[in-house]
Amino acid sequence: MKLIPEWKNHQSCLIAWPCNIDLYGSQMNKAKIEMANLANQISEEEKVYIYCNEKDNQECVSIVANKNISIIETNLDDSWMRDIAPIFYQDKNTLKSVSFNFNGYGKYPDFEKDNKISEFISSQFEIPCSKNNITLEGGAITYDDNGNLFTTESVLLNSNRKNQSKEVIEKELIELFDLNKIIWIPNGLEEDDTDGHIDNIFCPIGNNRYLIASTTLTKTKNSKILEQSKAILKNELNAQDPSSQIIDIPLPSEIYVNNKRLVASYINFYFSKNSIFIPKFNVKEDNEVYDIFNSLFNDKKIKMIETSHINYGGGNIHCVTMNLPKL
């Protein structure tokens, strides 16, 4: 497989500065402070690049206040770097990238600037880049080191993405990335503004281990979604390797910011060189999740970061970061 799992070595971390007032509203400044804190903490372990609009440059420099972080002026519509950055892969000994189509999740009118960012980044780092017409956001896929790519039907097959059939998508992605298989689950979390990105519910972590969001609540749409997803994934992965482990990570209790209920998940985290950066929601599940991650990653520090105001805008730590792999 050519895709490079996120726990492998990174050259750097790419972040986009919050700029969409329609999403963040009155929480915009708090989201920027949280973004700066996240960037500063990641920069202790790997090089960080923050991309921002020209009008936000001085503000970004002032709030981040870190000379070790490179701030790059470009044209942005939003802050979800995971979704608008190129997808990096290894072709023999060369790092390459793919610029997939981005259409604002099929619902937001301002996306043309974000749709050009992947080519801008590839050019910046002199990475050979090819274009692909599939509408695909980085948060819509995840992949392990066994040749499996995981995604949700509710995103890639959603009519608002204007993609071709499931069979056409499978054929193209399998050939492009030399995949073993694409494993589809029906849905992501209820009310997820992306239509159900997989990075809120499922994540491979290596050594045939996988994390899945879970809930103790019954009679909710999410409980049914997660139970169904786990059954499909368990069946698929056990057929490949009976030793595969799927580990439950509880969803946080309901969280409200400015009277808005967040679509929140601990699965939305970032691997760095020496640490795992996980959202902190100041609810009872925080300690439980910390202990689970601490037991799973003996070689990394577990760092919980308050990001509820970033989450207010629609995503979390994984959504606002993209790792540039190091070969």
> Quick one: pLDDT at residue 217?
72
Structural domain of residue 21, as residue ranges?
Answer: 10-325
> Quick one: pLDDT at residue 218?
67
CATH number for the domain spanning 184: value is 3.75.10.10
Tens-digit pLDDT string for the chain (327 aa): 899 999 999 999 999 999 999 999 999 999 999 999 999 999 999 999 999 999 999 999 999 999 999 999 999 999 999 999 999 999 999 999 999 999 999 999 999 999 999 999 999 999 999 999 999 999 999 999 999 999 999 999 999 999 999 999 999 999 999 999 999 999 999 999 999 999 999 999 999 999 999 998 767 889 999 999 999 999 999 999 999 999 999 999 999 999 999 999 999 999 999 999 999 999 999 999 999 999 999 999 999 999 999 999 999 999 999 999 999
One-letter identity of residue 258: N
Pairing of strands 47-52, 275-280: unpaired
For residue 1, being part of any structural domain is answered with no
CB 86 within 8 A of CB 98: yes
Distance CA 304, CA 288 (A): 12
> Quick one: pLDDT at residue 216?
80
For residue 199, being part of any structural domain is answered with yes
CB 251 within 8 A of CB 233: no
Helix axes 57-64, 28-42, angle to 10 degrees: 60
> Quick one: pLDDT at residue 25?
96
> Quick one: pLDDT at residue 256?
97
For residue 19, being part of any structural domain is answered with yes
Distance CA 244, CA 238 (A): 6
For residue 303, being part of any structural domain is answered with yes
For the four alpha carbons of 125, 131, 135 and 136, in that order, the dihedral sign comes to: negative
Phi-psi region of 309 (alpha: psi -120 to 50; beta: other; left: phi over 0): alpha
For residue 4, being part of any structural domain is answered with no
For residue 260, being part of any structural domain is answered with yes
CB atoms inside a 10 Å sphere around CB 64: 24
One-letter identity of residue 194: T
For residue 5, being part of any structural domain is answered with no
Total domains in the fold of the chain: 1
